[in-house]
Amino acid sequence: MDKLLIEGGRRLEGSIAVSGAKNAALPILAAGLLTSDPLMVSNVPKLHDVATTLKLLAGMGVRSSQEGDCVTIDASTINAPHAPYDLVRTMRASILVLGPLLARFGEARVSLPGGCAIGQRPVDQHIKGLQAMGAQIGIEHGDVVAKSSRLRGARIITDMVTVTGTENLMMAATLAQGESIIENAAREPEVVDLANALIAMGARIEGAGSDRISIQGVERLHGASHRVMPDRIEAGTFLCAVAAAGGRLRLTSVTPSTMDATLEKLREAGAQIETGPDWIDLMMNARPKAINLRTAPFPGFATDMQAQMMAMNTVAEGAGVITETIFENRFMHVLEMQRLGADITIEGNTAIVRGVPTLSGASVMATDLRASAGLVIAGLVADGQTVVDRIYHLDRGYESMEAKLSGVGACIRRAS
Ligand code: EPU
């Protein structure tokens, strides 16, 4: 199993090009199931989760080809509309094939994702929404088994804001008969990126980016090409790293307007930030100031940035209060950060982080994707060597993280 070896304490300086967004690429690749024409997707990041998605689609009979960062999906033939457990358990986003399969083929069998390191993460809202569109859905042998004649448009009010839930229902509704309305919809930029890809395929969608999305179903969608938006979480992770370690960073191929909550917190921490249409400059010459934050659906502070901000807080001046409201168990990185000397107390869904002047390097274990990113940042500011084990989590969602960080002066390398 690969590990990352980090010698901390270096100032970071230079420029990083941000990759395409994982959480936009995955639903957009699943959207390829909605048409028998080729869908060409560019700016696709090289990630394990993307490889898993292509494997999942290949298992159904979908052909795909890859050239550089461009992936072409050809779902003209599907012989098995199934998402098996061995893939679903490694990537919960596999549930994103449920809506498209049902809408185009009238049947789907998708293994029910089991437990998860960061919270229970049920998919009841996906199921409830598809049932409202007329699907018959049951659980058989651990699989969600769904059947339907043509789906019917429906008004769906989700019980909570769910990102992949909104995406699944929006995709299903594109081919349903009549109008669907999704109320309490997720407003995340990745939902908007998916909607734009679907619109390019001929879907009639309005309101993506607001909490009310309306979709007029059409008979069929056609092929299209779409460029995936930049990864705002990858971008935020590198900004946090430099805010914690000190230095100067230029991010390119980024969309600052999708990152307001993160940029505001980094400014509060003392970072000087300038932005252009597709770049961000961050300069940090002093110890960061501790910040308080509360995760929330977009445009609130992203839960996917919580661990990285916490890492910055561990070496900040003062104390910061971090409240996680999206997932019940997303503080797994705290015990590992404590191994590096961080002063963190957890009370329920709140972590009180009292900044210490420096952390001290140690071996730590990554428990999920963003926890791993937080531990890498902690390693970059710790004295001596930090070894981050189980970085397969990191490889699921960050493209060449160690190469990008080495390029700005970090001492970090991968070892088997
Ligand atoms: N929820 C339910 N029932 C449902 C759906 C969601 O109770 O049917 C709950 C969840 O348990 C959670 C909350 O609603 O407490 C929000 O979950 P959401 O459905 O929004 O999460 P998701 O769609 O499974 C996506 C991202 C996550 C990101 C969350 C929140 C993708 C592929 N994944 O997950 O990304 O944390 O939204 O923003 O888009 C990551 O990239 O590391 C990651 C975990």
Q: What is the DSSP letter of 197?
A: H
* 315: CB partners within 8 A, 6+ apart: 244, 287, 288, 355, 356, 357, 358, 359, 381
Q: Does the pLDDT value for residue 116 go beyond 80? A: no
Per-residue model confidence (pLDDT) at position 416: 87
Task: Provide mean pLDDT across the span 339-350.
Answer: 97
Per-residue model confidence (pLDDT) at position 242: 98
Q: Of 118, 160, 161, 262, which is best to mutate to test ligand 1, by the most ligand atoms within 8 angstroms of its C-beta?
A: 160
- Give distance in angstroms: CA of 412 to centre of ligand 1: 31
- Give distance in angstroms: CA of 163 to centre of ligand 1: 6
What pLDDT band is residue 117 in, cutting at 50, 70 and 90? confident
Per-residue model confidence (pLDDT) at position 366: 86
* 121: CB partners within 8 A, 6+ apart: 92, 113, 327
Task: Provide mean pLDDT across the span 337-366.
Answer: 97
Per-residue model confidence (pLDDT) at position 152: 98
Q: Does the pLDDT value for residue 115 go beyond 80? A: no
Per-residue model confidence (pLDDT) at position 411: 98
Residues with CB under 6 A from ligand 1: 23, 26, 93, 119-126, 160, 162-165, 303-304, 326-327, 369-370, 397
Residue reference for tokens 């950060």: 337
Per-residue model confidence (pLDDT) at position 119: 81
Longest dimension (CA), the chain: 63
Q: Which atom of ligand 1 has the smallest separation from the CA of 124?
A: 8
Residue 29's closest CA among 11, 13, 12, 49? Answer: 49
Residue reference for tokens 């969602």: 397
Sheet holding 12-17, edge to edge: 12-17, 247-252, 279-284, 272-275
What pLDDT band is residue 374 in, cutting at 50, 70 and 90? very high
- Interhelix angle 189-200/22-31, rounded to 10 degrees, is 30
Q: Does the pLDDT value for residue 206 go beyond 90? A: yes
What pLDDT band is residue 118 in, cutting at 50, 70 and 90? confident
pTM of the entire predicted model: 0.98
- Give distance in angstroms: CA of 165 to centre of ligand 1: 8
* pLDDT tens column, 8-28: 999 999 999 999 999 999 999
* pLDDT tens column, 234-291: 999 999 999 999 999 999 999 999 999 999 999 999 999 999 999 999 999 999 999 9
Q: Does the pLDDT value for residue 113 go beyond 90? A: no
Residue 179 in tokens: 């109008």
Q: Is 116 tagged catalytic?
A: yes
The pLDDT mean for the chain works out to 97
Of all protein residues, the one whose alpha carbon is nearest to atom 44 of ligand 1 is: 304
Q: Which atom of ligand 1 has the smallest separation from the CA of 118?
A: 44
Q: Does the pLDDT value for residue 1 go beyond 90? A: no
- Extended strands (E) in 264-410: 272-275, 279-284, 293-294, 319-323, 343-347, 350-354, 359-360, 363-365, 382-383, 385-389
Per-residue model confidence (pLDDT) at position 83: 95
Q: Which atom of ligand 1 has the smallest separation from the CA of 122?
A: 3
